[in-house]
């Protein structure tokens, strides 16, 4: 019984570490996206951002969306849906299902 209790405590401790890392990753993704947005605002094309940074186009888009989601979590503006509309909105598929 004591061994099981100790294992449960260790699992709980490791889960806390996992969730902390997930939060840190989300923060890092948003910070990356903010920097990428600033580069876009300086005139760098999104496709060029991928080439310049070594990230895939998908990673660039994901980071940008993460930053936009972080700045406006409850507000879906047209800016939020410009990058990859099929990934972020349901304007055409299931819009009536709310």
3 state SS of 1: coil
With cut-offs at 50, 70 and 90, classify the pLDDT of residue 73: low
What sign has the CA pseudo-torsion 56, 59, 60, 61? positive
With cut-offs at 50, 70 and 90, classify the pLDDT of residue 81: very low
Question: Which value, to the nearest 10 degrees, does the dihedral of the CA atoms of residues 18, 23, 27, 30 take?
Answer: 100
Report, as an integer, the average pLDDT of 50-58.
95
Torsional class of 43: left (φ above 0), alpha (ψ -120 to 50), beta (otherwise):
left
Report, as an integer, the average pLDDT of 35-61.
95
Q: Quick check: 68 pLDDT over 80?
A: yes
With cut-offs at 50, 70 and 90, classify the pLDDT of residue 74: low
3 state SS of 16: helix
């Amino acid at each position: 019984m004591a061994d099981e209790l100790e294992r449960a405590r260790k699992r709980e401790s490791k889960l806390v570490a996992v969730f902390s890392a997930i939060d840190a990753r989300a923060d890092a993704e948003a910070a990356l996206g903010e920097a990428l947005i600033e580069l876009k605002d300086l005139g760098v094309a999104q496709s060029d951002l991928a080439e310049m940074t070594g990230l895939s186009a998908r990673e660039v888009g994901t980071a940008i969306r993460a930053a936009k989601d972080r700045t406006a979590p409850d507000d879906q503006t047209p800016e939020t849906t410009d990058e990859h509309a099929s990934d972020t909105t349901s304007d055409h598929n299931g819009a009536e299902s709310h």
